[in-house]
């Protein structure tokens, strides 16, 4: 198992713009495998490479049916709107109110460099947007309205 340390929002790597992936080699495959292990171990929904200290445009999203590997992802389209609680493995124990699209489509490359599109609604759309923000150095605390109170957390 290749677990990597998840960086917190206090660390500089989470506030930098990531570079595109250009080599689809064993190093990328190792990163993807390690990120998968780390995501599953942390019981998260998504994980971006800068969260493990790698400034490359790589994201994993657990849809509940599969773990999508999104390399050099781009948001193609969004629609609708949802407003709800959002958390982050890099901001442990805190949740904020964030507005996101209800539906999102992303275009990305797989581990071999092949382009494909993936769609998601509700939580997956939220996750796509949240993780792609990480690739541009944005943590959800920068786009949230406010943190949830202890009472609001208990209600959820």
pLDDT of the residue at 44: 96
pLDDT of the residue at 122: 97
Q: Is 150 helix (H, G, I), strand (E, B) or coil?
A: helix
pLDDT of the residue at 81: 98
Alpha-carbon distance 142 to 86, whole Å? 12
pLDDT of the residue at 20: 98
Query: Which residues neighbour 23 within 8 Å (Cβ) at sequence distance 6 or greater?
Result: none
Alpha-carbon distance 60 to 118, whole Å? 12
Q: What is the mean pLDDT of the chain?
A: 96
Q: Is residue 65 classed exposed, middle or buried when 0-12, 13-18 and 19+ CB atoms within 10 A define those classes?
A: exposed
Stated pTM of the model: 0.95
CB-CB contact of 93 with 43 (8 Å): no
CB-CB contact of 49 with 59 (8 Å): yes
Comparing C-alpha atoms, which of 45, 47, 46 is closest to residue 5? 47
Where the chain has pLDDT below 50, the residues are none
Alpha-carbon distance 4 to 128, whole Å? 21
Catalytic residues: 131
pLDDT of the residue at 156: 76
pLDDT of the residue at 128: 98
pLDDT of the residue at 155: 84
pLDDT tens for 87-115 read: 999 999 999 999 999 999 999 999 999 99
Specify the CATH number of the domain 12-155. Answer: 3.90.45.10
């Amino acid at each position: 198992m290749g677990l990597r340390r998840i960086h917190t929002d206090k660390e500089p790597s989470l506030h930098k713009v990531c570079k595109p992936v250009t080599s689809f080699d064993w190093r990328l495959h190792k990163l993807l495998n390690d990120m998968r292990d780390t995501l599953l171990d942390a019981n998260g929904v998504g994980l971006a490479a800068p969260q493990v200290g790698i400034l490359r445009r790589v994201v994993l999203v657990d849809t509940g049916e599969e773990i999508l590997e999104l390399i050099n992802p781009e948001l193609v389209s969004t629609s609708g709107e949802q407003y709800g609680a959002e958390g982050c493995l890099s901001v442990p124990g805190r949740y904020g109110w964030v507005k996101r699209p209800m539906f999102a489509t992303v275009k990305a490359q797989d581990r071999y460099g092949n382009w494909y599109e993936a769609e998601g609604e509700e939580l997956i759309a939220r996750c796509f947007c949240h993780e792609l923000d990480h690739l541009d150095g944005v943590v959800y605390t920068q786009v949230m309205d406010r943190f949830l109170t202890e009472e609001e957390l208990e209600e959820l």
